[in-house]
Structure formats: structure tokens, C-alpha cells
Structure 1
Amino acid sequence: CQIRKSMEKKAPSDFLKSVLGRPVDVKLNNGVEYKGILACLDGFMNIAMEQTQEYVNGQLKAQYGDCFIRGNNGILVHFRIQVDLLDFNMQSTYRVCLASFIQMPFLPAEVSCPVAHLKMLKAVRGKAVQSRFDLLLLEDGEYFLDDFSAFRYPDPVFTCLTFHHCKQRKVQGRLKLCTRSFMFEPQDSTLPILKFPYRDMPHTPAGEIFEEANKQVYLSFECTTVVEMKERGLDHPYVTKNLADSSVASTKFIFSFAHSKVHDIIDAAAPLWSLANTKSILNKIDEESKLAPILGPRHTDVFDPSLLADFRERPLLQRGKVVNRIAPLLKYPGTLMLTNLRVYFQPAQVNNTGDPVVNFAYTKVTTIHKRRHMLKQCGLEITLDDKSSHFYSFETMKDRDEIYDLLIKQPGVDQVQEHNSHLIPEMLEKWQTKQISNFEYLSFLNDQAGRTVNDLTQYPVFPWVVADYTSARLDLSNPATFRDLSKPVGALNPDRLAYFQQRYQAMPSGMEAEGLPPPFLYGTHYSTPGYVLFYLVRLAPEYMLCLQNGKFDAADRLFKSIAGTWQSCLTNHADLKELIPAFYDPQGAEDWLLNLKNLDLGTTQQLERVGDVELPPWAESPKDFVLKLRAALESDYVSAHLHEWIDLIFGYKQQGAEAVAANNLFYYLSYEGSVNLETITDPVEKCSFEAQIQEFGQTPKLLFLSPHPARSEVDKSPVIAPLEPIVLAPLPPATEDIPPPSPSSSPEKDTPTNTARRSMFGFSRPTLSGLGLNVNGLNGLNGLKASIRKRMERRNWGWSFDGQSPASGNLWDESLPHYFHSKELTSCVLSKDAKYVFSTSRDGTFKLSSCADGVVKRSYSCGGAALACDLSPDEKYAVFTSSDLRVYMFALETGRVSKLDNAHDSPITGISVIDDSRFLTCSDDGVLKLWQYGPVGMLSSPLFAFEDCDAAITCLDVNSEGTLAIVGRINGAVDIYDLRTNSQIIKVCVSQCQAEVLSVNFDRAGNTFVCATDANELVVCTSEGVESTRLAIPIKDDAIQYVSTHRSFPTLSFRCMVSDGTYAITGSANGGIYIWQLHTDSQEPEKKCIVSIGHAHKRPISTITVSSNGHTVLSGAADGSVRVWTLKKKAPRARLGYFA
């Protein structure tokens, strides 16, 4: 099966027949809950009750409720009940009127993926009621805990109404308690689901009484940001509303509950609010550790025996196994139990939106597969006779194997065939004798290689077979119509392949001990979660929104055209994707090729609206397109060459020397066996690997160790790979032209880890040591420390200002202007002893110069304007960028220069060295990338790319521990990223007028950051994004003058800034330098400016820096001049004097 809309519209009677006799759970608004089964079919849905319930005058006191139908495949069918009549008779049967039962979507048994698990629509008296809440609406790492029947009320103060009138405007719905937010789903589907993040609540939710007469307590909280989702039941980009300064909406939200006590909800939300508002920055690992007391009791190995379907059943385990049921982008925690008759999955009270229990009989099991999940051999997938599948991830491989061994011994399961040495040859023979089609054989190989629709990182992969998407007629008799199946996608274009090969040859080798991975041709993969949802965005937009943090991808990057996608796969260096099964399955072709849901997918730069996928001229309709592709897949040409593609994807050319020869070598981490997460004890390191897999996908399991025979070679058979994975080490590239690392330039090596921590490739895994972090330096979840090789020293100027000291002007020695460059300086860095300056300029040069006499010691010319530079901690390497999209690494001892081509798609605006093996770059395209470097050069593909960006990045900094990165953007936003988990953790707008952020700096401890904007704003915020100080300081005629930020800004504005967290030095467009004291009681800007020099340079100051000890200040200007101020030795360091 594949992700597709498999729901059919059926008449009411057909629907009722299909669910006849199935178990039912009903929850009514008066708190009554009961179980039953569906009974007769006379225009009513009759529920035969297990027990009688409270009723008055023959009628139950409820007027509405929820009905849950349990299916054999464990998928929940949920709809609302709204009734006018609910009778009770002696047979203990309740009748729910379905007189207005219109055509309903039907959930068939052949469902194997949650994309098809669309919500059951219940129509009563012509009105459809649909449950819109979905776990996909949660943030990554957020958990759903409980929901409550609730009413939301307007704020009486904001609306100027009495609370009595507010009660008349109440909105009925359900309030969801999640670990990072409240979510309110109104019953009226035209209203959006509202998300209230705890981090945007200034105070903890509390109880409040609005009417003295009845003393009823309501839940009340303030929330400055609200996210709207699923308005009118549509999948649209999430709308985030900032209510802090809104004149049309209140920040106060009031709720009452039908059956729950307000204080119970307040008590449950209090620790979650405290966690979200903690002062320290929490990564995903820290958060889960602190949530353990809340989540732990909800997810246990205790199985409830009362949930057994038959009292005669006997559990085969003393305690259940803690598992996660895996679905695309989701996981459902629960407990797995085996009895002598059935398999049971009991969902935990975490992310539980389904049945109390899912069970299926052993007699329904058709296949069982051991699977890997997130690089661990801990998965088990069970397929049933109705084609549905259940994918469970266990805590350890031992737990998985224990369940597997027990499962295959049960009656009805002992004959089930797993992946073995007999099944593949049997299917190969059927394929060669044409008993099965090419499509069926590829589906089988995908299944045997661990590909499953339940895990988007291992989604089934199919080949491009047609290369002609421009002709009016598809000629399947012409070999030129087809793609060369003997080559991977990355090798189809000779020019692009030459680039990949050149990059491969330039990759450093012999540095595995230092943590650098072996060389590879392709840094991206042919099958990733992003690629799968790229194709299926029109069918499953909610998954794309989940993956893209609530928005669709940019219109120009969406799936718009078949021909355009094919051309991108041929020419784009970052696009190597193959196809998915939907391209060859005619059923439901319209669902993913046409924009049937009228999604707002945006407008391209050519002002073209993105709607339906543009088909080739030879396709008359989506179904015709897929049918012709299927015919091409089954054609004689493909049948004769398909074995060549199988060798690349599932066979002996997948890895090792043959992969190198076939230009088919991918990043090592995508291969099975490259790393075993079960041997990694550090949770932060494990999270980092999992994040990479979620982003880049995995290579299928190796199936064949020798060439796969052609379809016509009936007498040949391949060597089948054993069940246990065999991983061959990729060959290193030829390195004759790359000199070996010299002892003088080689960094110290970390103490080797034990052999159990070595991968099957035969080299040490690039663990956090390879990323510049020492595993042995980790101290618990919150004790992540910097590498043994220390980072650059953080700024600690040590200045203090004596308000009584005169403006003596004799505390600093000023140098004459040095003209290192002929054009504007773009960046400068001082050496630790402040004797040398490293600078870049728009004249295209990088230079190392003496601060004392201005003599240039070393120089290098780039291919374009040099834009930014930084220095390695040992000061042996300078790394700088240029407008030609390159990164250069200059070995200062030898003069050797390494180049990294096409590091970004736009000019690289910033660079920051983290430690002696990693650095960051940012660019105008809004992308932040993490790179590795070593004595022989830089890794040609980034370790990670933060691409969820909405504006160009203008500046960059890293904290002292090398764990957090901060960037400023052209729209006034500042983002903070956790480099341990490769995730964005803070996003805040620091400019009230969305002015460009010129500079941003962490303080020494990393607890606060300081930023300057080109609107003359100086802003100090905590690392959680909370503003503590703000100054709006337009500069005019060399005088400090405070004006409102709503006024137009003068031309004499900030151009650059540097700060140690206590003081900030700014350079302005008039050539002036100003020093500001950031933390004073005074809010008057003229009192915060403690040093000013109106004309330090004749031209605008473009860059400024201060030595780490505060003794030297260096500024660079637009005319290429540099000036140096040095604190006199006799000057008391406790006093900061005025510049001359």
C-alpha cells in the first residue's frame, strides 16, 4: 500500500453493513460512558448495551456525545452524536436517529497508513460534524495528554459586556491539554482550532470567579500569541496572531468545563507552564527528562486484563512490552501484550486519540518482518489479511526479538514466511517467468528491504523510467524515451556528475579518527520524508504542514510540473530523488496530481498560481498519465534493464567498491549498520543522529551480494544477503594530489573510544567528538560541555565606568589610519594577543596585518568580494567567505588555501568558527549551515542545514560552549538554534519596525544577547527571547538625541556593533564610534552613552571589534582604513576613559 486516499463514498446502508457487529464505545455529555456492539439495520444505528444506564422518563439525559467504532485493524472511527430521541427498552438497546444520514466517507479494512485515516464524518439533520484535532497539529516533541468538554467565553472587560452577556456568546468545544500548549477545538467547524502556547502566557493559568452570585470558578489565562489552524476544516498554513498590542482581540481567555473540575486542570497545567517558562534553554532531550514525572506514569508496561476480548484468553507475558506504534511523522506510545489467541496494543495515556485497545487474531497475520527504526534494529511490522499493517518500535532489539520469537510459535503464525533465503528466489522466479509484474516485484523487494509506508524515512522507492516529458506522444518502442537504469539519478547528467566526482576527490581522507566521515559522492538521498511529501502535498497537506512547521514550502519549490521535476533531478546538485509507488498505481491518481482540496499553495516568482500538477503533453489526464507510466514500467525495455537499477538500490552496487565504481556512494550514515543507536548512551548524541535520519532518509537493506540476473536470464540466480546486515566499507578516494596532514598542523586527537563504539565501516563514528564535542565531557542531560579543544575566548572586556572621572583623553593610544584595503572592510578579527588583525574587504582580498605598523603579512585574493572571516581557536586557520559563494580556509603556517565551492545559493554574509572541527555559515538565502573542517580541508557537504527560514540572515554568533547559534535577519527577527539537536528553539522579533539586524552577540555566559538594528535600536534579551533593555538612539550632528521609533530615521545611523553583554560599541554612518552602558538604572540614552567620538573615520564605519580582554579596539571603514586604539599600560583597568 501507499499513502493515498483510500476512503470511498458509500450509501448509509452500505456503511452500516460494513460495521455491523463491531464494538462501540459511547461517551455522552453527562459523563456516562458505555460499551456495546452495533445491532440491526432499520434506518437507525442500534447499540446493544452491556449494561443499563441512567435515564429519565425513558430517555437518557444526554443530547449529544461521541461515538467510537473499533475495527479489527485498530483504527478509530469517531463521530459526534447529536440526538432528538434516545429510547430505552427491555432489550437494553439505545437508538440513535440517523434519519439525515447523508453519504459518508467509509473507512475500509485495507488501510495501512494514517494519511487514509481521515476523520469520520457524521451528519445529523443535514449538518456535518467533524473532529478536526490531529496529532499532526502538535509541535515536534510535543505530547497530547487529555481533553475536556469545555465552553469558551469572551473577555468581559475587553468586550465591555457583563459576564451574563458573555455567557450567551460562549463557544462549545473541547480543550486539549498538551505538554507545550492548550488547544481548543470549537464544535463549530467554521471556527479555527486555537493553540495557546504556555511560553506566551506571562502567568500560570488560574481559576477566576466572574459572578459573585453563583461563585462558579472558570479557567482563565493570558496569552499574547495564538495560533489558528484548520479553519472551516481546511488544511491551510497556520496563522500566528500576536495579541500583545492588538486592538481587536483580547489576550485573556476564559473557559468552563462540563464534567471536569477547574482546579484539577490548573494543577495539571502548572508544571507544564513552569517548564515552558523556565529561564534556561531546554533542548528536546532536556525537556523529555523534565517531563518524565508526568509522562512516565502514563506509559508503563502494565496491561489491563479487563480489555481482553475473550475471558478464556491467557496472557503469555508477565508484563507487557513498552512500544511505540509508528505512523508517518507520528508515534503512539503503548503496551504490547501477546495472549494465546491475539496480539493486543494498549495505547498509553499519551498521544491517545484512539481506542482503549487494538487487537487482532493470529489467524489474520500474513507476514511478519523485523524492521530497523531510526538506525536501530528494534522494529517489528505485522501485516494482516486485510492488507493493513502494524509497525511497532521497541525499546531494545532484545525486547523485539523476544516478542518475535514468541509470536512465530503461535498457532496460525508458525507458517508465516519472513524474509528468508527461499522467499526471494521464489519471487525472482515468478518475475522471470512473468507470473508477477515489474511493479509487483519492485513492491516485494521494497518490502523485503525494510521499506514501509508507516515510516517516511524508509518509504518504498521506485525508479524514474521515462525520460521524455515534452513529446506529444509517448513512444515506448523508442529506447530514447527511457532513462538509463544502469546509472543512479546523480550520474544521469555528465556535467553534474563531474562536479560530484571533483568534490569527492577533494574530500579529506584518513581523518576518521578525528570524526570526519569517509568520502561520499552525494550528501543528499534519493528517498527522504521531504521528497515523499513533496509528491503528496495535495493529498496529504496536513503532513507537509507538520513537516514544515505549519506552512507549505515556497511555491517555487513545490511539486508543480512533471517535466520541471525531472529537469531538477537532472541538473540540481541537491535534487536526486527517485519516485514513489503512486506514480505507477492508477488508483487515486487524481488525489495527488490534482488540487482537489483547493489548497492555497502560493504563487511563484513568475506570478503563476500553484494548483494542479502540470502533466506532460502525452498525458490526457492524471489517470492516463499514471497508466502510461505503468505501461512504460512494464515495457520490454524496462523489463530488460530493471535488474541494473535493482543492483544500485537493493544490490551489490549499493555500497563498497562497486558503489564507488558505479557513482552510487551516499553519506555513510544512510546505510544500515553504519551506526547502532543502542550502543550510544548519550541522549543528546542519539537525538542528533535521529534528526539527521529524519531529514535525509535511509538506504534500503542490502538484499543481493552479486549481480541481479536479467528477466530473461532464467538460469541465473544471485547471491542473497544474509538476514544480518552486511556493510562494506566505502573505498577512500584517490588522494595522491592531497598531501597528508603534517604533524605541525594536526590537532590533538581525543582519546580513542572502545571498540564497541566503532561502526561496521571500520572507523570511529563521527559522534559528538567528530562534531567538536567530547563525549567524555558530558555530564548528564544538562551538562553538555565544550570540546577538550577549547573555543575562542569569549569577550570579557572588564571595563567599569567612573561617572566622576573627567574626559581626560589620555587613557588610550590611537594609531594613525592604516589602509590595508582599497575598498570597504566587511569584517575583522583580532588575534588573541591583539598583535595581528585578520580582515576581509569588498576589494576581494583577505589579509593578515600587523596592528602596530600596518604591515601586511599575508594576503589572498578571492573570486569576488570577501564578506566575512573568523579564526580557528588555535589560530592556525582563517576561514573566510566571498560573494562567489565559496568558503576559503587559509592555513596560516603554510599558506595553503582550501576551497569549498557553492557552499550556499546566495552570498555568504556571516561565518563563525565553533571549535577546532566545526564552523557555521549563513547567507542571503536565509539558510544556516553547519560544516566540518580539519588540517587537510573542509567537508564538502554540510553536517546540517537549517533551511526553515523566512528572511535573509545578516549576522551570526555562537555561545562560548559551542552549543547555541544565534542569527539576525533582515526583517528584524533573531533566531537561536541548538547545535546539539539541530533544532530551532527561539524566534523573536527584536525590532519594533522590522528593521535589519546589523549585529548580534551573546554575552560571556550565553544567558543574554545584544543586537543592533539599522533603525538605531540597541536591544538586550535573555536567551529565552525576553527583552530586558531597549534603546532607540538616532544620531544627528554628533549629538545623542532620543526620538520615537515611529519617526523617520536620520541617515546617520548604526552600521555595526560589538558587545560583551555589559557594554556595546557601535560604529555609525557618519564615521563616529559610541560606547553604550547597557545595564543602568537610567533610561535616558544620553546617560547610557559613556564614550563618543564623532569622527573616528572620514567614511562610514563598516566593522568594529574588541580584543577579548578589552585592551584593544579596532575599527574599519568604507574607505578601507583601519584604526587601532590601545589602552595605555599605566591606565587603571577599572576605569574606562574617553577616546582621544
Structure 2
Amino acid sequence: MEKDRFSLLLLEPAEIYFEDFSAFLFPLDVNKHDFEKKKQIGRLKMCSKSIVFDPKDMEKPLIKIPLKECMKISQWDGELATKITPKNNVVAVDCKQYVEMLAGNVLAPYSFVAEKHSFLFLLNYAHVADCLPQICQLHRAATLPAAEQNSMIAAIVYSRQNRVSFDTLWLEDLYEKVILETQGSKITPLVVNPGRILLTSSRLYFQPYNNVESYPVLKIRLPDIKRIVQRRFLLRQVGLEIYCESNSQVTHLYLSLKSEAERDALYQGLLDQPSVHLENTEQEMMTLQWQNGVLSNYDYLLYLNSMADRTFSDLTQYPVFPWVIQDYSSLKLNLDDSKSYRDLSKPIGALNEVRLARLKERCEEMSPPKFLYGSHYSAPGFVLFYLVRKYPHYMLCLQNGRFDHPDRMFNSVPDVWKNVMTNMSDFKEVIPAFYDTEGVGDFLVNTYGINFGYRHDGTKNGDVQLPPWATGPQDFVKKLRDALESDHVSNMLHHWIDLIFGYKQTGSEAKKADNLFYYLCYEGAVDLDSIHDLNQRHALEVQIMEFGQIPKQIFTLPHPQRRTGIPALMPTGGDGSAASSEMDERSTLQERVHSVSCFPVWHSFSTLKNIAPFQTHKEAVTAVAVAGNKQFVVSVGQDSLLKMYSISEKRQVRSVTLSSMALSSCIIMPDDKSLIIGSWDNNIILYNMEFGREMDSVRGHEDAVSCLAWGNKNQILVSGSWDCSVRVWQGMAEGRRIKPSSSLIAQFDHDAHISCLSVTR
């Protein structure tokens, strides 16, 4: 275990941790002579539903006392009270049950001690009068029914948090302009940690109210932000997920705000900042990239999950992936045999015709609202069923300090597949980890050596049993990934997308596809804000959270099929006719995907032979040039990158970031060694390919440089801009520094943005 053992995962899901106090724990029967020997020093942590004592001695267990199990919390009035501490600074907690966690610093099921016990805590620095009223107030809330308890805790939390404002001493730059300050929570699996959110002109800050995080204030530079997604969190549109550059200090942050209006205000505030430049992830473009092989099946499914409000930060809406293989018994997996694959046109519950018939019979006998499946394909319990070996602390949090019965755990891949094919209440799909080759199958291995118990046949639960065709976890995941990216799955995946994210998700099409789940699974099935009865609302929330949720519907029409084995572009026939309607279709497609960040290198335009597909940029390619006696392909893109590809070596030889904004154009100089590049940051850049460095940069226009052209005869450079002007420059051919005062020889003003340039002799 880690040195700092306490975490929010030791509390109930979404329980709030307020603050802690330095304290000594000592037994009730202590006397003044053995007090020093029997006391334990540690931290007493005050939480919304429990008190936790975290001893400094790592071998001793953490003690959690649920407030609902407490009979009395008071200032101690024992005989030795004033002798031990003159100010009688001791809190006495009498309880019916307490929990011991992480005894011996070993991750294991918690020990529940069901006996009356008294705990005495001597506060070292804080005074009883300062903390006891707060603890007693929380204790009173714990005696209420669950819904009323949550309401009272929310009021306590609101009152405490309103007395705190963001500490501006944490600002990186004193000249930052504050745009917005609000309350919100940082969301991680099973944990909601509230704090203050501050947006300035250069950074986004999150300051937690407590000291449980590894940082006092989390800071994100606005230029590092690449994606911002509005999310549904706990059935309400209050979530905001922020993705940053992989090399930034913070790569990911999921926030939940008080209301949809506050969430939208923060979202718009971020978008309004000039330094925020988001990646282009428009749905149509991503689908086109996937159709044409630019995006893998794995990455496209991750994208669709994100668009459908599925995130790794929320177990109630975790990304869902399909079972694609149905052969878990052969000694060798044959990916060329269609019989090895599951039918992706049917939901998991409809694959077994016999079981489906029984489910339909049961459905017909129901009173409305009717459903086929009484269990879901994705829920928090199912996610942790697969991930218990990798994240055992999540399972202990979700299941109140216990692991599942050894026979019900994820023990064998073949057994799980058999169960989802035959069991009348098991219809779960899988999670991305099954296809994540970077994870190398670590979720299948009992890395922590945890004692999960013994199965009914006496075998000890250890690593997950794999099918015979897998030599180990890494090989298992690699073969599943190969299957996911196979032509067979590529040709069928759109059917599964229709079921999970598309038009077969709801309504009559769902009924035709045997894809009906309990009505509370569907987005918008119930308006929780309109339910004023606290107990009824709480019951609905718990039911929905535990059962699972349908992803947000993102397609209302049949999803297009992926193109596999696309032929190369063909020239017109000898009679001048076009090469059939496929040419027309592909021409239209080319127009639609003009900014796709991958292009082929052609050998000869007379035969149009594609010699090397060149995966270049993360975003749209804006310009391409051929340099070095036709030995290198140079490209620039909206990802701010200049890339160079060697035709002879068939590999990328250079990748350089030249700007904080998109690059719009590039021109090869007559010396065949230099490039002139236009940028959206208003600059014209001179780059030397031979030495691989930027030689010069000059502010060429008052707005983005949109296009460049070169006049060979006159040796002039012409630049166009969004500032509605065209400028003519000279002296570039010698590779000299660009000096506007001497190089600028003419300017032509237009009434609109310049989009294209050409120079004639």
C-alpha cells in the first residue's frame, strides 16, 4: 500500500471529507500511568457519514466509525479527563459497530466489529468546542432516512463551502484577469471531491476544500486544453470533461457543477478565451475518417462512447465495447473464419435463440412498461467485475468493504462468455481494456497478490483463466485487438453501433431488434427534478445508478458501413468516359474529406499508383509540397506541425512544432533547402530543411496568413490573409532575414478574406 493510506475510496461512494485534526486515540480503561504507552497518534478525519482515525503507525488499521452506528458523541467526562489534559480536550464516541481497514497495511476486505465500543480522541491543537458541534450535526443527519439525510448533508456542505473563496495567492501570474469563479466538484470513479473553480485569462484552477489531494491547487494552462465535452453526471446535465495535451501537467479533469446553467457558463467562458484552441472532432468528420480507414475501430468506438456521455471517470457511464469473438475453446484462434466471430447485428441477449424465446414469453406476460432484459450490458458492478484485480479498492468502496463471492468473480473468460450466452439475467458486454494493447492485459492478473478466496472446487482465485488459444494476458488482448480491427468486424460494426448508440436503441426499431431494456435505463425516461418526494427520488436514483444506463443516442439514421479494401483511384477510360459511378462517389467523398489528416503518396499521375499511405497529422492537412529533387514530401496542418516524409525510406524523418496555432501553407524555395510557411498567428516563417531549424519569423499581416504563392520569374513571394489584404515581398530567394521595411513592396486590399493566390509570369 502507499505511504498515505487514507483516500476518499475508503468512504462511501460520493461521501464528503471535510477536514482532519491531529489527535491521540486511547482506550477507555487507561490510567494516568500507562496513558503515554497506550495512546496512538494519528489524524482524526471528519466526514459527512463517518469519523475515520488514521494512525501514524502503518501496521495498525484505520478505524472508521459510521455515524449511523454511533449512540453518543460528546466531550469526555471521565475521571481522568482533566488529569490527561487540563482543558479536557477529549471527544468520546460510543458506537455499536466500527470498521477496521488496511490492517498491517495490506489491501484486504474490511473487518466489521459488531460490538459496543467507546473511542476517546485527545485533540492536540483544535479545541473540542470548535469541532464537536459539527460532528454532532452530522450525527443527527445520520439518524434520518437516506433521502432526508442526503438533503441535510447537502445543506451542511453548502453552508460550509459558501464561507470559502478561492485563495488568489495561488495564481501563477498576478496580472491574470479573473473571468469566473464558482463551486464545483472534481469527479473520479466513485469519488466526488468539492472545491472552488476559478477561470482566468490564462489558466483554469481547481482548489479542493480539503487536503486529501496531492496538490493544494490544480492548475491547467488554457493553451494546453484540446477538448471540452459537456457531460451528463448522475442523470443531470452538470458535467464538464476537459482533455489536455499529453505533455501538460494535468492531462484530464472531470468537473461537476451545481446546475446546468453554471456548467454552461464555465463551458462558454472557456470557449471565449483566445488562448483555447480545441481539436476538430466533429462527428461527421470522425465518421468519415473511420469509414476510410484513417481511424481504427478501437479509436472510433472510444470516440462514440465519449460523444454518448461515456467516460472512464464515471463508473455509472463507463465506455462499453462489444464481445467480438465467440470461440473461447479452440487451441488456435482463426481470425479468417467467420465462425470465430459473434454476430454484431444482434444485442448480446438475442444471440441465443432459445434464451431469447423464453425472454419474449416473459415479456408478453408483463404489464407495461415491458422489457426483455432485466439486467443491463454496462453498470458499475459489471465494470468492476472485470477490473477488480487492477482496481481492488474500487470494488471495496462499491461493495462496502467486501469482495464478491469467489464463485461469482471474474475467474475465467470462457466461463463469462458461456454465462452471457445462457444465463437469463446476464447480458453484459465488455470494456475497452479487453482491446487495449498498451494495457497489456494487466486487468487479468492478480498483481497485488490479494486473497480473493477459494472457489467451490477448492481452487484459489488468482489470475483470470484465459482461452486455450492465448499464451498469456498480453497475447490475449493482442488477438482480441486484431479481431476488432479485422475486415469481418469492420464490415459488421455499424450494426452494433446502431444498437448501442443509434436508431435501434429506442422505440419501434429497438423492439424489432430485440433490444428492449427496463425503461429507467433510457435518457429522459424520468425527470428527477420534477419529483419532490425525497424518498421516491432517492429510490429512483439508486435504482438507475445500480442498474445501468443506455448511452446517449447520437445517431437517428442507420450508421454507414466501413469501407474495406478501397481500390486506388482509376484514370478515365480510353474513350474518355469516367470509371463508373464509383469514381463519382469517391470524388464527392474526396471533397467531403478534404481535411482528413492522411494522404497517399502517388508514384505517377499517369498511372496513379499509390506507393505509400502517409499518416501525418492529428488534424487537417492544409498544404503539401515536394522537395529535395522529389525525394521528400513536406506537409503542414492545423495541428501546428511541419512534417517531412522520405519517399525513398518510406518513413517520416521530421516533425516540428512551429507555432501555437495552425499552419496554413508552405512553399519550397528555389534552393530546394528552405521553406516559407504561413501561420494563423499572423506570421510568415522561414525554415531551413537542411539544418532542421527555424531561420526567421516575421509578422506578415494583421490577421492569420491564409495562403502563399511564389513567382519564380520575378522571385517574389505573395501572401494572403484574413485581414483582407494581399502583400508582395521580395528578397526571399537568397534566404535572407525577412524585413518588412525593405522586403514589402506592395499591398492590395480586398473586401473579404483572401482564400487563394496564384502568380503568373
- Residues of 2 paired with 1:200 and 1:429: CA distance? 58
Partner SS state of residue 316, structure 1: strand
| Alignment pair present for 1:465 and 2:353 | no
Question: Which of 201, 205, 214 matches 2:74?
Answer: 205
Q: Note the 1:496-645 alignment, pairs <5 A.
A: 496-509=355-368, 518-645=369-496
Is 2:78 the counterpart of 1:190?
no
Whole-Å Cα distance in 1 between the matches of residues 84 and 493 of structure 2? 79
- Deviation at residue 536 of structure 1 after TM alignment: 0.3
State the SS of the aligned residue for 2:438: coil
CA distance in 1, matches of 2:292, 2:123: 66
What does residue 326 of structure 1 align with?
187
* Aligned counterpart, 2:41: 172
Distance 1:640 1:543 in 2: 37
The one-letter amino acid of 2:562's match is: R
Unpaired stretches in structure 2, ≥5 consecutive residues:
567-584, 590-761
1:144 has 2:17 as partner: yes
TM-score by length of 1: 0.47
Q: Matched residue of 1:469: which SS?
A: coil
CA contact (8 A) 1:298 1:348 kept: no
What is the CA distance between 1:174 and its match in structure 2?
1.3
Equivalent of residue 252 in structure 1, options 95, 98, 118: 118
Query: What are structure 1's unaligned runs of at least 5 residues?
Result: 1-118, 122-129, 245-250, 510-517, 719-1140
CA deviations on 1:229-283 (whole Å, 9 max, x unpaired) are 1122322111111334xxxxxx33333233222443333323333444x5xxx22
Deviation at 1:376, TM superposition (A): 1.8
Cα separation, 2, equivalents of 1:555 and 1:614: 14
SS of the residue corresponding to residue 98 of structure 2 reads strand
CA shift, 1:626, in A, is 0.7
1:314/1:613 CA distance change after superposition, 3 Å: same
CA contact (8 A) 1:152 1:172 kept: yes
SS at match of 1:601: coil
**Cα distance 1:563–1:214, how it changes in 2: closer, same or farther (>3 A)?**
closer
Amino acid at match of 2:292: T
The match for 2:86 is 215
For the residues of structure 2 that align with 1:636 and 1:485, how far apart are their CA atoms? 13
- 2:105 counterpart letter in structure 1: G
Q: TM-score, normalised by structure 2?
A: 0.70
What is the deviation of 1:211? 6.4
Question: Over residues 534-586 of structure 1, what are the superposed CA-to-partner deviations in whole Å (9 max), with x where a residue is unaligned?
Answer: 00001111111111111111111110100000011001111111110100112
Contact 1:525/1:577 (CA < 8 Å) preserved in 2?
A: yes
- The one-letter amino acid paired with 2:53 is F
- d(CA) in 2 for partners of 1:704 and 1:335? 36
Structure 2 SS opposite 1:391: strand
Tell me the alpha carbon deviations over residues 769-822 of structure 1, each in whole angstroms, 9 at most, x when there is no partner: xxxxxxxxxxxxxxxxxxxxxxxxxxxxxxxxxxxxxxxxxxxxxxxxxxxxxx
Q: Distance in 2 between matches of 1:176 and 1:461?
A: 37
The answer to whether 1:269 aligns with 2:131 is no
Secondary structure at the counterpart of residue 239 of structure 2: strand
Verify: 1:153 aligned to 2:48, yes or no: no
Structure 1 residue 191 displacement after superposition? 1.3
Work out whether 1:284 is the aligned partner of 2:146.
Answer: yes
> Does the aligned pair in 2 maintain the 1:376–1:676 contact within 8 Å?
no
Amino acid at match of 1:693: I
Shift of 1:506: 2.4
Distance 1:243 1:303, change over 3 A: same
**Offset from partner CA, 1:1015-1067 (integer Å, 9 cap, x none):** xxxxxxxxxxxxxxxxxxxxxxxxxxxxxxxxxxxxxxxxxxxxxxxxxxxxx
Indicate the residue corresponding to 1:752 in structure 2.
none
Q: 2: distance between equivalents of 1:519 and 1:213?
A: 67
Give the distance between the partners of 1:199 and 1:681, measured in 2 at CA. 25
Find 1:181's aligned residue among 9, 32, 50. 50
Partner of residue 363, structure 1: 223
Correspondence for 1:409 among 261, 268, 272: 272
For 1:291 and 1:475, locate their aligned partners in 2 and report how far apart those are by CA, in whole Å. Answer: 57
Within 2, Cα distance between the matches of 1:252 and 1:285?
A: 29
Call closer, same or farther: CA 1:259–1:543 in 2, change over 3 Å: same
8 Å CA contact retained: 2:9, 2:394: yes
> In the aligned structure 1, how far is the partner of 2:54 from the partner of 2:306?
39
The aligned amino acid for 1:196 is: I
Match of 2:333 in 1: 474
Aligned equivalent of 1:699: 550
- Aligned counterpart, 1:400: 263
2:433–2:441 contact (8 Å) kept in structure 1: no
What is the CA deviation profile of residues 346-366 of structure 1, one whole-angstrom value per residue up to 9, with x for unaligned ones?
Answer: 3235x8545433221210110
Counterpart for residue 730 of structure 2 = none
1:1098-1138 superposed Cα distances (whole Å, 9 cap, x missing partner): xxxxxxxxxxxxxxxxxxxxxxxxxxxxxxxxxxxxxxxxx
In structure 2, C-alpha distance between the alignment counterparts of 1:176 and 1:285, rounded to whole Å: 24
Alignment check: 8 A CA contact 1:156 1:166 kept: no
Structure 1 range deviating more: 472-481 or 690-699 = 690-699
Q: 1:343 to 1:294 in 2, by over 3 A?
A: same
- Looking at structure 2, the residues matched to 328 and 463 of structure 1 have their Cα atoms a distance apart, in angstroms, of 22
- 1:672–1:222 distance in 2 versus 1, CA, 3 Å: closer
The answer to whether structure 1 residue 676 and structure 2 residue 515 are counterparts is: no
The whole-number CA distance in structure 2 between the counterparts of 1:522 and 1:213 is 63
Change (3 A) 1:415 1:548: closer
Distance 1:370 1:197, change over 3 A: closer
**1:200 to partner: Cα distance:** 3.7
Structure 2 residue matching 1:331: 3-state secondary structure = strand
CA distance in 2, matches of 1:213, 1:525: 58
Query: Residue 296 of structure 1 aligns with which residue?
Result: 158
Q: Tell me if the contact between 1:163 and 1:210 (Cα under 8 Å) persists in the aligned partners.
A: no
Quote the Cα distance in structure 1 between the aligned partners of 2:85 and 2:146: 44
Equivalent position amino acid for 1:339 in 2: T
Which residue does 2:709 correspond to in 1? none
What does residue 775 of structure 1 align with?
none
Q: Percent identity among equivalent residues?
A: 43
Task: Give, in whole Å, the separation in 2 of the partners of 1:402 and 1:577.
Answer: 37
Q: Is the 8 A contact 2:13 2:190 kept in 1?
A: no
Note the C-alpha offset of 1:619: 0.8
Matching residue of 2:700:
none
Question: What secondary structure is seen at the aligned counterpart in 1 of 2:475?
Answer: helix
Residue 528 (structure 1) shift: 0.6
CA–CA separation in structure 2 for the residues paired with 1:195 and 1:285:
22
Hey, what's the Cα distance between the residues in 1 that align with 2:185 and 2:477? 35
Counterparts of 2:483 and 2:14 in 1: how far apart (Å)?
Answer: 43
Quickly say closer, same or farther: Cα 1:270–1:678, change in 2 above 3 A.
closer
Give the Cα separation in 2 of the matches to 1:213 and 1:374: 48
Residue in structure 2 matched with residue 433 of structure 1 by the alignment: 292
Count of residue correspondences = 562
Q: Tell me, yes or no, if structure 1 residue 709 matches structure 2 residue 560.
A: yes
The 5-angstrom pairing of residues 80-119 of structure 1 reads none
1:472-526 CA-partner distances (Å, limit 9, x unpaired): 11111111111111111000000111112122222334xxxxxxxx322222211
- 2:209 corresponds to which residue? 348
RMSD: 2.5
**How far 1:165 moved relative to its partner?**
2.1
Residue in 2 aligned with 1:443? 302
Distance in 2, Cα, partners of 1:582 & 1:144? 31
Residue 285 of structure 2 aligns to a residue in which SS? helix
Larger relative helix fraction? 2
